[in-house]
Structures are given as structure tokens and as C-alpha cells.
A and B are shown apart, each in its own frame.
Chain A
């Protein structure tokens, strides 16, 4: 009796997936041609984000920001007839201190000014549970939790004398994909603001602190209710130049 189950391995799947991907992709590019370029501008109430600069929050906490990184993903152009024209592999890790990450180019898009742009702050559930990913989702990017699997969707760290913590640090690591604490948030923008195939998305960090007293809340390091509540505030940070 042979008890060994020799599985022919996955060569075939690879080819099929590859072909499928190719057909979809080339099909989509046929009737579309514009490159849409998205500029990401982070600020604190209009002031640029710089490492040693001091900012004052609405609640009078003085702060410095040392790290600001987050995922923008799932870019979708939604036409009026709701036929979604999604852009493949659109997972971008934005780092306020790394210029190269502040420009996103969506190539071969097909849109009108009446259309909408949908995107998410954070990484979708599937990618949170599908093992080691590549590119901006590579686990070496420092945006994946080790003890409790899942991406950190939004990470902000800094200092404030109001924080009675080690080195006066605050750390907000916002993530979590499991119900009821999924922390991904969807944004919708009108594309009417596009000029010369360019769109600017502004992220005003000041709003993160509007409802926050740093002396009492200065650490979020795990998924849960706190992270979820903080994620609810994130869309308020985002706007486009109209």
C-alpha cells in the first residue's frame, strides 16, 4: 500500500494566473491612456512636516513628529454608471519623510471629471492574511506586527513634553483587520479637481490631535477599540484641492 500522497506542485497555477492577469491588464489598457499623477502633501495646519520642527495642537500640546507612514491602497476610479475601473496592485506605503513616496502615478487610467476616485487608508483583509507579500507590503518595511499578524495601516510617532512616557514619546500604530476592529477606512474624492492629469491630496496631521489629550492618550500599539476609534478620525485628515 502506498500511503504517500505526492502532490504535483503548482506550476500550472502560476501560468494560469499569469495569463489571466495579463489578459485583464492588456484588455483594460486598450481603451484608456491617461496617466493620473497624485501628489501627497502632508502638513500640520499648512506648515510642512519636518523632523525637528515644533507644532502646537488644538489642545495646547507641543509636539514633534519623528515618523509618519501609512498605506494608501485599492485605488478605484468609479464612473457615473458605477462601472469600477480599479487599478491593479495599488498598494502604496507613504512616508512623509521620504519624497519618493509622495507621488503616485496611476498609469493607463480612463476617467472623466465627473468620476470619483476611491481609495483606502490601510491594507485590506485579504492581504493581511495571505502571508509574506512583496514591494511596499514587504514585511521588512516595518509596517507589519510580529506578535499579532497584521499590517499597521497608519503609524505616527513623535515627542511631546505632555507625554509622561519614556523620552516623552507618543506612538500611534493603527491597524487591525479582524471584526469588529477593522481599521481600514475608505476615502472618496471627486475627480473634478484634476488639472493637467494631476491631483493633490492634502493630509493635515493637526486634525489627528484635535480630539486628543496627549497626557492621557499617547500609545496605541495593538488592534482594538482604541485603534478603531483613532482610525475613524483618519479620513478627516484627508482633503483635495478643489
Chain B
């Protein structure tokens, strides 16, 4: 199974139409900033129905409007409503929702993703360089998401492919927790080109010591921050390079920009032998400012 991206569009400024055809359903999350509010509005305007959703990682359940569905029953829930095209608001939904929705509607549906860049991230007062963006108020312990968590053991270790963002603590925590026990090699995928010139340097500088610590056991890769196809291809390259004896699987860490998380979700959905790690951050209110470029990505699964 693989994924193609028939549409990777930049929507003209001010346009209310994001694709020539409307979607049957739009899935949206809770906005925490200006672009999020605009994104929800736009999603609503481009779909016949809108459903607010949220993944509850403690209860392994998915909240869809007023319904609460166990995630192993999501497919049955989706089967009840015939859809040809869905729209996922990636601006307000987090990685687990992108992952589970993508899996649910993977076949026979056009998966549309709406994403709006910010013009600025809210910043902590501190050194001028590198700037420290303040995006999350707290992180949870790394937890498995059913369906994406094959076991690691002495005979099967992991190659961690982590999409890198601004918050270096996410990757560091994962490495500190693992202590080299299961993760024996690290691939860091930096968002280059970034949304705005110089943002890639913030990300690189905040991770410089991780690169130094991990030393030669680190691969540095680059994929465009706002292009899921670029990240998908990058993950594909890493996946193909793994040993074929099953001694190492690909572990995916979605710590980067949302378009890279879309690619990571799609990659995990189409490669059953990969593992996903996530730390469920609590997003800071007003973590960004402004409404930047609006993207519409469409993905379709191929045999």
C-alpha cells in the first residue's frame, strides 16, 4: 500500500472555497488560536456536515460530536455513514486524531486535509537567538495508540524517525526514557524549507546537542515543513533501508509541523509494521498569532 497526493494546493488569500467539490463531512477540533478559529470556519463552509472530534488516550475512545466510540469500533461507526470525501481540519486536530481518522477512512475515500500556517508563534522571553517558542503547557507520558504499537524486545529494536519541530524536550524525553534500550538509531527529519526563512535554524539549534550526544548514530534528513509528500517520501526512504530480517522496525515520532504529522499518520496507516510514539501535549492557548497561507492536501491510498 502506498499513498499519492493528487492535490497539494495553496488556497488563494481570502478564498472561501478550498476545493472544487464539497466534502461529505468535515472533522474539526477545538481551536486555540486565531488561525484555528478561521480554519474551523473554513472547514464548515466546505462540507455538508461538521463533526467535532477528540481522541481520549486514557479511555482509548474517540469523541465524535455527542458520541463516544471505542477506537476499535471506529470503522463500524464510519461504515454507517456513506462518504466519498472527507475533510480533516489538521489545524485544530492533533496527530492522534489525524492518525485515527486517516485509518478509518483510508479506503475508498478521498482524504482531504486543511491546514493554515500561523504568521508567528508565541515566544518565551529569553535569549534572542535561538528563539524559544512556547507551544505546549505540558506533555503526558509516551503512550501506545492501539493498532500502531507492535512490541519491541531484545530481538526487535527500533529506528526512530522523528519529525522535528521547535520543542526539543519532546525528542529528548523519549530518548531519556528509552535510555538506548530499544531505540538503537535515530533519524531526525527537519522541516526544510520551513514556513518562514530562519525558522529551521531555531529548530536545528534547539536540537544541536541531541545530534552531538547521539553522534554517528544519527541520520539528519530534510523534508519541506509544509509538504506532506516530501515527508512521506523521506519516511519511505528510511523504511526501505531497514534490515529485512525484522530485527528493526520504524518508530515514528510526530513532533514536527502539522503537514509532517499528516505524512507520518498516512505512513503509519499504510505500513502495519511501524510503531507510533506520542506524548499528547496540552496546547497553549494563543500559541500562535495571525492567519498565514492556507493549504489543502488530498491523499489517496493506492494498492
Partners in one complex: no
Q: A-side interface residues toward B, CB under 8 Å?
A: none
